[in-house]
Structures are given as C-alpha cells and as structure tokens.
Amino acid sequence: MTPGNLLRSAILLVTAGLLPMAANASSLQEKIQSNREKLEHLHENLGQVQAHLSAGQKTQAELRQEIKVLDQKITVTRKKLAGIQTQQRQTQDKLKALKEKITALQNELIQQKGILGKQMQGAYMLGSSTPLAVWLQTEKPGELGRMSVFYAALAKARAALIVKTQNTAAQIVQARLQVEQREAGLVKLAAQIQAQENTLNQQRQQHATLENQLSDRIARDKAKIAELQANANILNGLVSRLVVQFRHQEAVAEAQRKAAAEAAARAAAARARAAAEARAAKQRRLAAERRAAAQKAQEEKRAEQVQRAAENAAPPTTIVRPPKISTVPAPPVPSPAPSAGQPPPSTPIIGHGRYPAPVNGPITARYGSPRVSGGLDWQGITFQAAQGTPVRAIAPGMVLYAGPLRGYGQIVIVQIGHSLLSIYGHLGSTDAHVGEQIAAGHQVGTVGSGGELGNDGLYFEIRNGGHPVNPLDYIHN
C-alpha cells in the first residue's frame, strides 16, 4: 500500500467517527488523539516523497517556455539556412553564367587568333616588300592606290584584332578569377549550410528532449491533479459530514430551546391568568366600595332632606356643617401599553460583518486563482507568514475537527455560524480540541512550513453551507 493510500485509509478511519460527536465528543477526541501521531508520521513521509519527486523537475510552464524559445531559434535557423541555400543557388547560377561567358570568350579568342594567324600568314607571304617596291614592280601602276588602301586597312584591322584579342584574353583571365572567387564562396556557403544543419539538428534533438520532458511532466501533473482532487474530495466529505452533524446538533438544541420556550410560555400564561384574576378581584372590590360610598351618600342626602324639612317646621336655627368629603376613590390610571410595532433590539448576525484576518501577512494566492501546477483553482486564500506564527480564530464558534488531513497538513475546522465554517490549513501545530467552544482571537495553532504552498504560510477557507466562498468577503486583511 502506498503512503498516500495508507494516509487516506487512516484519515477515513478517524473521520468515520465524527458523526456521533454531539454525544461522544470526548471519545472522538481520544480516537483522534490516538491516531494523530501515526497520521502525522504518514503525512511527513508522504511530504518527503512528494518533495523528492518534485526536486529538480521543471514545471509545465517552464518547459513550454523553453520549447517556445527553442521553436523560435529553430525558425531563425531555418530562415538562415534557407537564405544561405538561396545565396548558394544564386552563386551557382552566376558561376554557370561565368563559365558560359568564359567558353564564349574562348571561342571568340580562337576565332580572333585564326583571323590574326591568316593575317600574319598573308603578311609573311608578302615578305619585307615596301609599298614603293611593290609599286615599282607592278605592271599596272593604276592599281597602286588600291593596294595602298588595302594594306592600310589590313594593318588597321590587324592592329584592332590584336587589341581585341588581348582584351578577350584579359576578360577570360578576369572571368576565371571570378569563377575561383565564386567557387571559394560556394565552399564557404557549403560550410555555413553544414554548420546551420548541425545546429538545426541539435536544436531538433533538444526540442525532442524537451517534448519528452514535457510529456513526462504532463503525466506527473495529471497524477498530481488527481491527487489534489482526491484531497479536495476528502476535505469536502469531511466538511459535509461535519455540516450534517452540526445541523443535527442544532436541531436537537432547537428542539430543546423550543420545549423550554413552550414551558416558559405556559408559565407566563399562568402568571398572566393569575394577574388577570387579581386585577378582576381588585376591580370587583373597588366597584363594591364605590357602590357602598354611593349608597352612603344617598342616605346622607335623605337625612339632610329630612332635617331640612324638620327645620322648616321649627324655628330656624343656623347650623354650620362641615363640608362633605367624598369617600369614592378615584379610578386607577392605566399605565401606557407598550407599542406593538416597536421591534426588539437587533443582534449582530455572524457572517455578515468584517472579521480580523487569522494572521498578519500578504496574500500570496487568492480565491479562484489557478494553481501553479494546474488543475483545481484555489478554494481559499494563502497568507505568507513565518513558521511558528500564531493563528487566531476570526470569530467565536465550536471546533468541529482538529488534526491532520491529506494534502492540507494539520487543519482546524470551526463552526462560526449556522452555515459558516472557517478552515485553517497547513498548520505546524494545533491548539484546539474537538467540541471546544472558542472565542474570537483564540489561538487555534501555528503556521507550518512549505508543503504545496511553496513558502511558509497559512491556508484559509470560508465555507457557506459546505461550499467554498471568497474569504475576503468576510475578513479584512
């Protein structure tokens, strides 16, 4: 069994006992604690294996960039080779034209030499006779003029032919020199072509090597992406189980609260009935007192009338009576009833405010940004922080999970609201326990080292209803 499979099996063994956490939080904590050292050891071994595999390996982006640069070099080399080959063909065409020119000049030179040889032979046949001697020897003196003109034209033609023959010979020499230069240029171009072909072959071999490396890297990246997907599935499964468990706990607590509220409502109703009965008795007593007072007043009024009648019959005497004081009590003033439309004081709802960041540091990877290795996008954010930096809870809540998880190192999951989870990953150590109620600012662990993050830092997620959301909507950094 590979380290990854062994770690996954161990994590599944740990997370399988999370469902009854509401009733068995202490026993679950003992199970996690008993397996934590083994899981940490497996996680450490897996991290070493992954670091060993990734050491010295280039990323797909680097390989593709090198292949792109090499393709550009190959294109430039091909253009140079095509230019040199074109120049070679042009030189060969010029060399062919020069050779044809030399052949024509040589033929012309042969003709000129033939004509000049005939002229020289004619002159030799005449010997050393001067025109005067020819005139004296001729039998027809009238032909002397024609002969003089003929000899002059012949001499001029011979001189011109000699100059032309010399020029043709010089052109042949010059053409042969150009031919030698062109041939030397062809040799040089051939050497350049051979060098460019060698360079092109080397670049093609290097290109093939990079292509093979890229294929291997793509295969490794696919395996890495599959591993990341498996890690994400493990985390998603854990979060789903924790959400179901927490909602079950909430349902039980809600039922208990509802029962307590109903009992309180019944007690309040009983108190209200008793108060109503007391008010009714008081009102009846006040009514009886008012009736008695009214009856007494009527009796006093009748007595006063009888007395006045008696006084009218007897001598009048002045009787000073004190003023009557009414004994009827004033009706009670009802107290003002509370306004029915006045709302109860509002309370803040967790998850709708701005929470402090779990650590202080720059954000190196944001929610939804692609990973360097490809595959899944980041479902949270990463803070750059030194190893050992304390990690604080952003809000009060209950710890649902604390321990190692494949691909995330040591993690702590805290329920901070009805549907909100805060996840702190790649921790070096954890300072929270399952089932513990923690306050905002409570240290849940410390920043770990390296891992998939590359540099030391904290991986942080917020999940709403089990689904990842942008943590920057809930915290300020």
CATH number at residue 425: 2.70.70.10
pLDDT at 455: 74
- pLDDT level of residue 312 (50, 70, 90 thresholds): low
Whether 336 has a pLDDT exceeding 50, the answer reads no
- pLDDT level of residue 14 (50, 70, 90 thresholds): very low
pLDDT at 227: 77
Task: Identify whether 170 is part of a domain.
Answer: yes
Given 180, 204, 219, the domain boundary residue is 219
Whether 8 has a pLDDT exceeding 60, the answer reads no
- Which residue type occupies 268? A
Mean pLDDT of 68-72: 84
Residues 215 and 363 occupy one common structural domain? no
Task: Identify whether 470 is part of a domain.
Answer: yes
Residues 211 and 360 occupy one common structural domain? no
226 vs 442, more confident:
442
68 vs 145, more confident:
68
Q: How far apart are CA 423 and CA 380, in angstroms?
A: 9
CA 412, chain centre distance (Å): 24
Of 8-22, 135-149, 359-373, which range is least confident? 8-22
Q: What domain range includes position 381?
A: 355-477
Task: Please give the biggest Cα pair distance in the chain.
Answer: 230
Task: Identify whether 95 is part of a domain.
Answer: yes
Mean pLDDT of 276-299: 86
Whether 154 has a pLDDT exceeding 80, the answer reads no
Count up the domains in the chain and report the number.
Answer: 2
Percent of the chain exceeding pLDDT 70 equals 70
221-241 tens-digit pLDDT: 778 777 777 777 787 788 778
Whether 20 has a pLDDT exceeding 50, the answer reads no
pLDDT at 93: 86
Q: How far apart are CA 120 and CA 113, in angstroms?
A: 10
pLDDT at 414: 95
Instruction: Pick from 79-83, 161-165, 409-413 the range whose average pLDDT is largest.
Output: 409-413
- pLDDT level of residue 325 (50, 70, 90 thresholds): very low
Task: Identify whether 264 is part of a domain.
Answer: no
Of 48-62, 169-183, 279-293, 368-382, which range is least confident? 48-62
Percent of the chain exceeding pLDDT 90 equals 13
- The pTM for the full model equals 0.42
pLDDT at 89: 85
Task: Identify whether 459 is part of a domain.
Answer: yes
Of 63-72, 154-163, 271-280, 416-425, which range is least confident? 154-163
pLDDT at 169: 84
Task: Identify whether 320 is part of a domain.
Answer: no
Q: What is the mean pLDDT of the chain?
A: 74
pLDDT at 135: 56
Of 48-62, 173-187, 326-340, 439-453, which range is least confident? 326-340
The radius of gyration computed from the CA coordinates of the chain, to the nearest angstrom, equals 59
Given 219, 236, 258, the domain boundary residue is 219
Contacts of residues 209-215 at CB distance under 8 Å and 24 or more positions apart, as own/partner, are 210/63, 210/66, 210/67, 210/70, 211/67, 213/58, 213/63, 214/60, 214/63, 214/64, 214/67
Given 219, 243, 269, the domain boundary residue is 219
pLDDT at 243: 76
**In whole angstroms, how far apart are CA 238 and each of 288, 423, 444, 471?**
73, 12, 19, 19
Task: Identify whether 50 is part of a domain.
Answer: no
Task: Identify whether 125 is part of a domain.
Answer: yes
